[in-house]
Structure 1
Amino acid sequence: MIATRRLTRIAAALAGAAVLTTALSAQARELSVSTVLPDAFPWGQAAEKWAELVEERTEGRLTLRVYPNSQLVNGDQTREFSAMRSGLIDAAVGSTINWSPQVPQLNLFSLPFFMPDVEAVDAVTGGEAGEMVFEAIESRGVVPLAWGENGFRQLSNSQGPIDEPADLEGLKIRVVGSPLFQDTFTALGADPTQMSWADAKPALTTGAVDGQENPLSVFDVARIDQVGQEYLTLWNYMNDPLVFAVNQQVWDSLSEEDRSVLRETAVEAGEWEIAMTREEESERLAAIQERGVEVTELTEAQHQAFVEATADVHEEWTSRIGEELVDTAREAIEAR
C-alpha cells in the first residue's frame, strides 16, 4: 500500500509538472525575426519597434527576438525568404529586392524609374496592386502583414558627377543579387557587379568598384562617403518597400488573438517607420552634403534620358513580373 501511494504521489507530481509546463508554454512564446540591417538604420528600427509593440500588447506572452545583419542566413540576404518559407526563420522584416528571386512580382518595385515619388509608392502598396503582391507572397508559404520602407535608392560613385547615362559608361557599380539590377545598369552602360554589402565596402575602399546604389539612410548611417563615394546623384530610380511577414505554419499555430496582435503591431510599426524614414530624408541629405559630398539633382530632361535608356528593361521584365500587376500599378500611379 505504501509503495502504491508513493507511486500515486509521483504520478500526480509528474502530471502536475506536465500541466505547469504546458501552461507556461502557452503563456510565453518567442519568435525569431530576421532583418538585414541593425537598429542604427530605420530598417532595423522597424523590426525593433514591432518587437516592442508585440511584447507590450501581449504582456510578454509573445515575444519577437530580432536577429539583424542576416545572421540567420549566414549573411546571405537573398536566402532570407527561402529560410522563412521553410521554417528556419519564424518571421522577418524584409526587402522586396532580396525576396524578389523567390517572388517575381516583387520586382515591380525595382522597375527603373517606374515610381517617381512617395505618393506613387503609397498608391501602389495601398491599393489593388499591393494586394496582388501580398497574394503572391502568401501563395509561397509566407503571410505578409504590413509594409515598411527602405526608401528610394540613389547613386553614388568615386569618379565624378553623373547626370546622364553616358556618365555611367564603363563604371563598375556594386548591385544586389537581382538580375533586374544587372539588366538596368547594363542598359545604362555601366558594369554591374553583384556582391554582398559585407564585401562591398572593402571593394569601394580599394577602388575595385567605382560606385553603388542605396537609400540616403544607408549612405548616411554607413558613412559611405568615407570609402571614396564623393559624388551622389539623386535620381529616385527605384523604391524598396519593406514587408513584415511570418512563416505560414507559425501563423497557423498562433491563436486568433495573437494573429491579430502581430498584424496590428506590424501595421503600426510599419507606418511609424515609413513616416520616420521620410521625415529624416532632408536632414540626412544636409548631413551628407556637409561632409563634402557633391550632390547632383536631375532636371526633368535629364531624368527622362535615364527613363528612355532603360525602356527595353521595362518591356522585358513586365512579362516576368506579370502584365496585369504592372498595368494595375501604373493605373494607380497615374491616378494618384
Structure 2
Amino acid sequence: MKLTRCLTALTAAVALSATFAASAREYSVSTVLSDAFPWGQAAQKWADLVEERSNGEITLRVYPNAQLVAGDQTKEFSAMRSGLIDMAVGSTINWSPQVPELNLFSLPFLMADSADLDAITQGNAGEQAFAAIEKRGIVPLAWGENGFREISNSVKLVKTPADLKGLKIRVVGSPLFQDTFTALGANPTQMSWADAKPALTTGAVDGQENPLSVFDVARVDQVGQKYLTLWHYMADPLIFAVNQRVWKELPEADRELLRQAAIDAGKWEIELSRNSEAKRLEDIRARGVEVTELSEAEQQAFADATRSVQDKWTSKIGAELVEAARTAVAK
C-alpha cells in the first residue's frame, strides 16, 4: 500500500512537471547594446515585466551586443524575420536596409526635439512605419528611444558645415548616412561600433556620431574625442518587435501581455533616457570634453547644407510617409 502511494505521488509529480514544462516558454530577444545603456535596459525591463505578469510562464532571454548575429547589427531584422531570433528591441537605423521606410528617422534635421519625435511616432507617420515593418514579416509592438545623435571628433570644434570638411567620420552601415556626411564635406567611413573605438584610438577616423548615452557610457572621450557638438541632426527610435510566426502561435492573452509589457517598458525607457541627458552632459563636460551648443541660425546652416539629402531620399522612403512626418512636426 505504501509503495502504491509513493508511485502515485511520483506519477503526479512527473505529470505536474511535464505540464509546467509544456506551459513554460522561452524566447530569445536581441539587442545591440547591453544593459549598461538605456537600450539594453529597455529589453531587460520588457523581459522582467513579462516574467512577472505571466507568473514565470513566459521567459524572454535577452542577448545583448548583437551576439545572435555575430555582432553584425544590420542583420538583426533579417535574422528575426527568418526565425533565428524570436524578438528584438531594435534600432530604426539598423533595420532600415530591410525596411526603407525607417530611413525617415535618419533624414537630417527633420526633427528639432523630443516633441517633434513624439509627434511622428505617436501619429499617422508612426502607424505607417509600423505597417511597413509588419508587411515584412515582423510584428512591431511599441516604441523606445536611443536618443538624438550628436557629433564628436578629435581635431577641432565644429560649429559650421565648413568645420566638417575633410574630417573622417565613422558612420553606421546606411547609404543615407554616407550621403548626409558627404553633403557636409566630411569623409564618411562605414564600420560597426565594435570596430569604431579601435579606429578612433588609432586615428584611422577622426570622429563619430552617437547619442549622449553611448558617448557617456562607452567613454568615447577616452579615445580622443575632445570636441562634442550638440546638433540633434537625427533621432534613433527603438522598436519592440516579434517574429510573425511566433506571434501567430501565441494565444491572444499572451499577445496582449507581451504588447502591453512592451508599451510599458518603452515608456519607462524613454523617460529614463530623457531624464538622464542633463546629468550625462554634466559628466561629459567634467571629463574635459569641449561641448558646443548650436544657435538656431547655426543649426539652420547644417539643415540647409543637407537639404538635397532630404529631397533625394523622400522618394526612397515614400513621399506620403515623409509628408505625414512633416505635417506632424508642423503641428
Tell me the TM-score normalized by structure 2.
Answer: 0.95
- Match among 312, 323, 330 for residue 326 of structure 2: 330
Aligned partner of 1:147 in structure 2 is 143
SS of the aligned residue for 1:246 comes to: strand
1:117 aligns with 2:113: yes
Aligned partner of 2:6 in structure 1 is none
SS of the aligned residue for 1:244 comes to: strand
1:193 aligns with 2:189: yes
- Once the two structures are superposed, residues 134-182 of structure 1 have per-residue CA deviations (whole angstroms, 9 ceiling, x without a partner) of 0000000000000000000000000010000000001000000000000
Aligned partner of 2:54 in structure 1 is 58
- Match among 162, 166, 174 for residue 170 of structure 1: 166
In structure 1, give the amino acid aligned to 2:293: E
User: C-alpha displacement at 1:27, in angstroms?
Assistant: 1.6
Aligned equivalents of 1:313, 1:116: Cα separation in 2: 17
Aligned equivalents of 1:18, 1:92: Cα separation in 2: 34
Deviates more, 1:30-39 or 1:295-304: 295-304
Aligned equivalents of 1:207, 1:248: Cα separation in 2: 43
- Once the two structures are superposed, residues 55-93 of structure 1 have per-residue CA deviations (whole angstroms, 9 ceiling, x without a partner) of 000011001000000000000000000000000000000
- Once the two structures are superposed, residues 189-228 of structure 1 have per-residue CA deviations (whole angstroms, 9 ceiling, x without a partner) of 0000000111000000000000000000000000000000
- Match among 217, 224, 231 for residue 221 of structure 1: 217
Aligned equivalents of 1:329, 1:314: Cα separation in 2: 13
Aligned equivalents of 1:17, 1:112: Cα separation in 2: 61
Aligned equivalents of 2:138, 2:40: Cα separation in 1: 20
1:265 aligns with 2:261: yes
SS of the aligned residue for 2:268 comes to: helix
SS of the aligned residue for 1:269 comes to: helix
Structure 1 portions without partners, runs of 5+: 1-14
Aligned partner of 1:304 in structure 2 is 300
In structure 1, give the amino acid aligned to 2:55: E
Aligned equivalents of 1:21, 1:89: Cα separation in 2: 27
Aligned equivalents of 2:12, 2:53: Cα separation in 1: 29
Aligned partner of 1:105 in structure 2 is 101
Aligned equivalents of 2:308, 2:16: Cα separation in 1: 64
Aligned partner of 2:155 in structure 1 is 159
Residues 238-249 of structure 1 correspond to what in structure 2 (within 5 A)? 238-249=234-245
SS of the aligned residue for 1:237 comes to: coil
Identity in percent: 71
CA RMSD, Structure 1 to Structure 2 (Å): 1.4
User: C-alpha displacement at 1:251, in angstroms?
Assistant: 0.4
Aligned equivalents of 1:285, 1:17: Cα separation in 2: 57
SS of the aligned residue for 1:92 comes to: strand
Aligned equivalents of 2:281, 2:303: Cα separation in 1: 24
1:275 aligns with 2:271: yes
Aligned partner of 1:87 in structure 2 is 83
Aligned partner of 1:5 in structure 2 is none
SS of the aligned residue for 1:147 comes to: strand
Equivalences, count: 321
1:210 aligns with 2:206: yes
